[in-house]
Amino acid sequence: MLEKLTELPSLIIAGAIGATVVYYLIQRKNDPIKKVPHDYFHRLWIYPPGSHTRWEAELDVEIPGADKKVGFFSATLHDQVAAEGPTDAEVAFCKRLMGNLNELFELTQPAVAEAWNDWGKDEFPTDWTTVLKLDGLSVPKDGNIKEPWGVTWFCDPAGHYFAIELRDGKAWLESVDG
């Protein structure tokens, strides 16, 4: 009898873990991430309220300075914006930047230079597209460039991602990883 009582705490813990897993799976089923078609993005996912973002998207491109698949995500949450998916202004923001990667590079160049000084092996080349590929963008609220947003470049010679935050029109090196 005493042996069975010593197993009781383990059984209670296992039951609590099992109940938590079942509850989580039921909740996720009720509010799943939805993949929806979109006129601009090749893939678009809508996240339920309470998630880390409102939406994420991917765009397949073949342009110098960009990875073949560029990722985007909303920098704002459901409680900040009424729209479930990307607003027209957010899509316009993405189109404008994707249409002129040189402008995007120029915006982020001070932070890229900081990362390059630590991780680059040679002098930074004249043609930035030979060493950097756009990996992704966080899209600011309403596509407003004055709101916080971010850019991630992959630097092939360094083998690292340069994550850059833009605030008040200035680029800040957030992290280097990869």
Position 76 confidence tier, pLDDT thresholds 50, 70, 90:
confident
Same domain, 77 and 160: yes
Q: Which pLDDT tens digit goes with each residue over 152-163?
A: 999 999 999 999
What pTM did the predictor assign?
0.79
Largest distance between two CA atoms of the chain: 79
Kindly state whether residues 74 and 2 are assigned to the same domain.
no
Residues 66 and 147 in one domain: yes
Cβ(107)–Cβ(168) under 8 Å? no
Helix 101-119 and helix 88-98, axial crossing angle in degrees, nearest 10: 70
26 and 108 co-located in one domain:
no
Question: Which residue carries 């982020």 as its tokens?
Answer: 108
Same domain? For 66 and 142 the reply is yes
- Identify whether residues 26 and 69 lie together within a single domain: no
- How many domains are contained in the chain? 2
Coil, helix or strand for 10?
helix
Same domain, 18 and 53: no
40/23 same-domain check: no
| Residue-number span of the structural domain to which 55 is assigned | 33-177
Q: What is the pLDDT of residues 38-63, one digit of tens each?
A: 999 999 999 998 888 899 999 999 99
Q: Residue 104: in which H helix or E strand, if any? A: helix 101-119
Rounded Cα distance, 119 and 159, in Å: 9
Same domain, 26 and 39: no
> Do 12 and 63 have their domain in common?
no
Looking at the fold, whether 3 and 59 belong to one and the same domain comes out as no
Let me know whether 21 and 74 are in one domain: no
